[in-house]
Each structure stands twice: as structure tokens, then as C-alpha cells.
Chains A and B, each alone.
Chain A
């Protein structure tokens, strides 16, 4: 299994541009999430999905859209990039087991700079 993959690894955008960060997992996990990581602030939840066709907002959803048309893919869209969205973005997936949700598996991250 490749686990959780993210593309691109690095991206530079100009203010106002839009783009999509890609995330895919091949573990048949039903749960997927997007986090952003800023220095000294840990990771903050942007959006999450509990299954195909179902998404919900996390702690910091403004400026981002998500969709979940398949179990494998969970893209994150930046509608109009702003310098405040400069960050490292992590996608994660997990599955439910007999004892509830299990370990979240994180992708390698996308480092985004908005100028």
C-alpha cells in the first residue's frame, strides 16, 4: 500500500489564484481529514469527511472547499489564495474498528506559499 499520498509537495501561488491540493489513500479508509500546520500552533483541522459524499467543517474552514466523490480521494480547494494561507497542509485518513476510530495516518504534506 502507498498509504496516504499528497500532491504537489511544494506550491507557490500569487494572491487571488486558486488551486487544488490532492490527497488519495489506498487503504479503503472511510474517514479523511485536512489539517494545516503553522509554526508553534500544532495542526488545525480544516475539513473532514466520514465517507463518500459526506463532508463537514473543522476548526478553520474559511477559504477552503472540499468534496468526497470517492472513498479514495479527498481534494482541498483554495478558492482565492491569501498570504494567511501560507502553511503546510496535511491530509489524514482513518477507519472505524470495534473500539471506535483507529489511528490517523498522515500524508507527507504540501508546503504552500502565497505571495
Chain B
């Protein structure tokens, strides 16, 4: 069975850094595109970063230059390095995996890691 388990969230001061991890099981992280999707309290969904099987990465304008997505095949884990955090980055961060057959749609989601940026 496919499973995604996020970790690394917490309370951090503005300007600080945090690294989220997403441990995958049931598939190889490099076999399909994967993303980090965040949801601020009471708000909608925002795709902040994606990494494709070939290694190409893309970022939302709101995080470009501050966040870095990466993966480690040996650990079968996806990461999101978040620097220069602001209060606007406060959200539940989900990792998600693309659909194996279709083009559009995240087929699997983790349970989320809560990031709270506050002084």
C-alpha cells in the first residue's frame, strides 16, 4: 500500500528555517512527480513546489528563492527546506504524489505537517 508520512513541522520564529520530510512507502519517490501543497488555517489549497521524475523543480512565486524541494532515493523521502519563514507561511503542509495513470490529479496525500510561524 502507498503511504506518505510527513514530519518536521513545528513552531518557528519569523526569519527561521525548517525542513519538512515526507517518508514514502509502497512506491519509489523518483518514479512520479511529487508536490508540497499547503493549506493555511481556514483557507484553500496552494501548490508550493513540485519535483518531477527527471529532477526538474518548480515553485510558487510566494516561496521562490526561499523554499527548496528535493528527494533522497536511498531514504525514499521527499523534503522541503523552508528558509526566511514569514507569518504567511503558517499552514498545514501536505506532500502528495501524482497519479500513475492520469496526468492531472494527486492520487495520494500524507496527513500533513503543521508549520506555525510566530514570534
Report if A and B associate in a common complex.
Answer: no
Residues of B within 8 A of A (CB): none
